[in-house]
Chains A and B, each alone.
Chain A
Amino acid sequence: MSKLYLDPNLIARARTAASDIADSLQSFILERTTVAVERTVLRLYGMDGVDADYVPLPNVVVDHLKEGGVLERGAATFVLNAVLQTGRTIQEIGEAVADGTLNLCELPLASLDEIRKKGIELATASLERIRANRAKRDEYLTRLGEGPQPYIYVIVATGNIYEDVVQAKAAARQGADIIAVIRSTGQSLIDYVPYGATTEGFGGTYATQENFKIMRAALDEVGEEIGRYIRLCNYCSGLCMPEIAAMGAIERLDVMLNDALYGILFRDINMQRTLVDQNFSRMINSFAGVIINTGEDNYLTTADAVEQAPSVLASQFINEQLALRSGLPEEQMGLGHAFEMSPDLEDGFLLELSQAQMAREIFPRAPLKYMPPTKHMTGNIFKGHVQDTLFNMVGVMTNQGIQLLGMMTEAIHTPLIHDRHIAIEAAKYVFKNMRNFGEEIEYKRDGKIVARAQEVLNDAAAKLEEIRDIGMLEAISRGMFADVKRTMTGGKGLHGVFMRAEDYWNPFETLLRAELGLEAMAR
């Protein structure tokens, strides 16, 4: 029963429009591949390490195939062929290409049947390792348990992975359920994943596989001690989106920011590139049991939060439908939104509550990711603490899945070690003190909260139908999301997009389609 008296027919209409939008994007996506997707295939096969110039081997090999003009057929065919022809491992083949002793494009090609048989065999083994990681997470969750929702999510961002570990463990002891390691500013725009443990970054720490491993071990250790599984979050976005998904699957990350629209609008990444990347990355996240977080909250930081509410909901609908097409179950869809209205607004709290409750009702099984006030944080830490408290109230009243805690020092600096403590202490107080408050209240049928939700849903449905008519890519280029305009061929990374050849082959995609029950959607 809807507490907001939302019209189920209207929700169905919006969902149908979003589904049509996703279908038309999906046929666009399935005709293409990208350099990042191909590098991901190599990473999933276990190719790792860097050449003498610190270029990651997956980049070396993919660039080599691109120069040879064969990348549109998929990297797997040529690398697996080399395995058959030379008897070397995939890692050794990467190293040989890097030192210039092997040219993959000149090797005689074995029969495609043989190549594919070998490819599927090795890919199956890789996926078994990811399946084992997933089982290990389940084992931890059964044995250690976890905190109740909303999960308490905090960030660490020292730039030094070893110092991040200290702060992350402290935060876990203070009560955090999810630790996100913020990436170094600018990483989303570099077209390779840095290598090894890193100790310097700006505004965050580089996402590298070694850094993932170090933090995972630390959180497992502290989780054992305090008797609670601590989830690890990173950023599966930017030009290396699917590679980060693969690294996260291999190192057992639990939560990933994963939203193409965010990259398009706010990082000016080319839309073709990142939509193709997103599709494959979400398949990996889905299989690895990773909860994705989408970035709708960002619309509210750049544009007016009251006006943008229908855009947020429309985008959540689209993200839901795109995620379903990557096989992602609703339980892993951390659809995003935020508490970003101006504190000067009379009854702003009612509008925030309305939006959060509406999202809860429309996406009942999704662990919604709720973002704190940032835009209207001022440097007045005392007022900021109260703003965060109201945000926490809405979070617990509307059963949000993941509460990214606000820091009273937002707008000043990355959190000091006690800023996290103060935020966690306050959130735990509010969550516990008001745990079942949401169950106890109903909203006035002709009141402001109900009226607002209905209006937003109505506008979102209309917007989705308009987007369906003109097409998603056209809608983005008209600035229909967050007032930002992006074009089909603008932005970064377009040079890394390829039309798939007739005999294009991605063994992981093939296997994951079967695993995720997506075969009906393959072309």
Chain B
Amino acid sequence: MSEAARYEPWKNRDMTHVRPYGDTFDDGVVQLSFSLPVPPGEEAAEAARQLVTQMGFVEPSVTHQHDLGEDFTFVVLYAKTKAAVDFTKIKVAKVDSPRMSFYEINEFIEENFGRKITIIGACTGTDAHTVGIDAIMNMKGYNGEYGLERYPMIDAYNLGAQVENEEMVAKAIELNADAILVSQVVTQKDVHIPNLAQLVELLEAEGLREKLILICGGPRIGHELALELGYDAGFGPGTLAPDVASYVVQEMMKRGLK
């Protein structure tokens, strides 16, 4: 073994076997915490150790436990894993259109479409949390980026919260929308999944699905999930208006939606 491989093993690391790093290369150290529906004590700690052993961890060590009342115990553990992933084989679905600026997007629309494009957005179903859709659409925007309402070449309509999918489709027809943005913040018990899927079905029934860009977003939404549900793209936390608008205009171009 060369000096470098012995003392700086991360320099030529094997990317086909990647595991967590604690404080020593390849140690596989993981921190874990969870609650058990049992009273606190030695038995609770042992139960936690056995559980993580069953999960495939080794050398589990309970560093803290606390009585939550009502016969529940919170435990904190450290353990090691022997599991590893082949990083060279990782494939992730990502939105890959380049991000343009506010000015570039407006220019792009003017040059390529020669008209304003229309984007409608809402929090649909029972979801009442507009913080996400507001950040993308409202004039003011978020984190230093203007929202879509501010874009001179975009007619943006933020329909607000708890909009039914049927209403969304009706609005899309009425306004001749080029793109629909659906925000879903409440994802407890996967309530967003059937709601998002229903919109796709309604659009397909109306023969609209191929004529517009359909996007969903929210803190628990990713591009992969969006594709699975029949959307064109999904945007997660940290998304700003230009991310969405760049994708919309480029996808419209690609699909020849003029």
Interface residues of A (CB under 8 A from B): 157, 159, 166, 169-174, 184-186, 188-189, 202-203, 266-268, 301-304, 375, 378-379, 411-414, 416-418, 421-422, 425, 483
CA distance A171 to B191 in the complex (A): 26
On whether A418 and B189 interact (CB within 8 A), knowing A188-B128, A302-B131, the answer reads no
Is the beta-carbon distance between B69 and A169 smaller than 8 angstroms? yes
CA distance A441 to B134 in the complex (A): 40
The 8 residue pairs across chains A and B that have the minimum distance between CB atoms: A173-B69, A186-B126, A418-B74, A170-B69, A170-B70, A203-B186, A185-B126, A418-B35
In the assembled complex, 21 residue pairs joining A and B whose CB atoms fall closer than 8 Å, in A order, are A170-B69, A171-B69, A172-B69, A173-B68, A173-B69, A174-B68, A174-B69, A188-B128, A189-B128, A202-B126, A202-B191, A266-B128, A267-B161, A268-B161, A301-B131, A304-B140, A378-B237, A379-B219, A416-B35, A421-B68, A425-B66
CA distance A94 to B140 in the complex (A): 51
List residues 122-179 of chain B with CB under 8 A from any CB of chain A: 126-131, 134, 138-140, 160-162
Contact with A along B59-76 (1 / 0, CB 8 A): 000000010111010100
A263 shortest CB reach to chain B, Å: 11
CA distance A157 to B138 in the complex (A): 30
Specify which chain A residues have a CB less than 8 angstroms from the CB of B139 in the assembled complex.
483
Is the beta-carbon distance between B161 and A303 smaller than 8 angstroms? no
Q: List 18 additional contacts besides A184-B126, A379-B237; criterion CB under 8 Å.
A: A170-B69, A173-B68, A186-B128, A186-B162, A188-B128, A202-B126, A202-B191, A266-B128, A268-B160, A302-B134, A304-B140, A375-B131, A379-B219, A417-B68, A417-B72, A418-B68, A425-B66, A483-B140
Specify which chain B residues have a CB less than 8 angstroms from the CB of A301 in the assembled complex.
131
Specify which chain B residues have a CB less than 8 angstroms from the CB of A188 in the assembled complex.
128
Q: Is B33 an interface residue (CB 8 A)?
A: yes
Smallest CB gap from A158: residue in B: B188
Smallest CB gap from A416: residue in B: B35
Specify which chain B residues have a CB less than 8 angstroms from the CB of A203 in the assembled complex.
186, 188, 191
Is the beta-carbon distance between B186 and A483 smaller than 8 angstroms? no
CA distance A304 to B131 in the complex (A): 12
Is the beta-carbon distance between B186 and A185 smaller than 8 angstroms? yes
CA distance A303 to B128 in the complex (A): 16
B158 shortest CB reach to chain A, Å: 10
A290 shortest CB reach to chain B, Å: 24
Smallest CB gap from A171: residue in B: B69
Specify which chain A residues have a CB less than 8 angstroms from the CB of B66 in the assembled complex.
418, 421, 425
A158 shortest CB reach to chain B, Å: 9
Contact for A202 among B130, B161, B186, CB less than 8 A: B186
CA distance A171 to B70 in the complex (A): 9
Smallest CB gap from A418: residue in B: B74
Smallest CB gap from A381: residue in B: B33
List residues 19-71 of chain B with CB under 8 A from any CB of chain A: 33-35, 66, 68-70
B161 shortest CB reach to chain A, Å: 7
Is the beta-carbon distance between A202 and B237 smaller than 8 angstroms? no
CA distance A440 to B69 in the complex (A): 36
Is the beta-carbon distance between A170 and B134 smaller than 8 angstroms? no
Specify which chain A residues have a CB less than 8 angstroms from the CB of B126 in the assembled complex.
184-186, 202
Specify which chain A residues have a CB less than 8 angstroms from the CB of B191 in the assembled complex.
202-203
Specify which chain B residues have a CB less than 8 angstroms from the CB of A166 in the assembled complex.
70
Contact for B68 among A170, A185, A202, A411, CB less than 8 A: A170
CA distance A412 to B33 in the complex (A): 16
B131 shortest CB reach to chain A, Å: 6
CA distance A184 to B138 in the complex (A): 26
Specify which chain B residues have a CB less than 8 angstroms from the CB of A421 in the assembled complex.
66, 68, 74
A383 shortest CB reach to chain B, Å: 14
A492 shortest CB reach to chain B, Å: 9
Specify which chain B residues have a CB less than 8 angstroms from the CB of A304 in the assembled complex.
140
Is the beta-carbon distance between A185 and B127 smaller than 8 angstroms? yes
CA distance A189 to B72 in the complex (A): 36
Specify which chain A residues have a CB less than 8 angstroms from the CB of B160 in the assembled complex.
268
Specify which chain B residues have a CB less than 8 angstroms from the CB of A379 in the assembled complex.
219, 237
Contact with A along B196-218 (1 / 0, CB 8 A): 00000000000000000000000
CA distance A125 to B160 in the complex (A): 44
Specify which chain A residues have a CB less than 8 angstroms from the CB of B186 in the assembled complex.
185, 202-203
CA distance A186 to B68 in the complex (A): 31
Specify which chain A residues have a CB less than 8 angstroms from the CB of B127 in the assembled complex.
185
Smallest CB gap from A168: residue in B: B70
Is the beta-carbon distance between A159 and B161 smaller than 8 angstroms? no
CA distance A184 to B188 in the complex (A): 11
Is the beta-carbon distance between B140 and A303 smaller than 8 angstroms? yes
CA distance A252 to B126 in the complex (A): 29
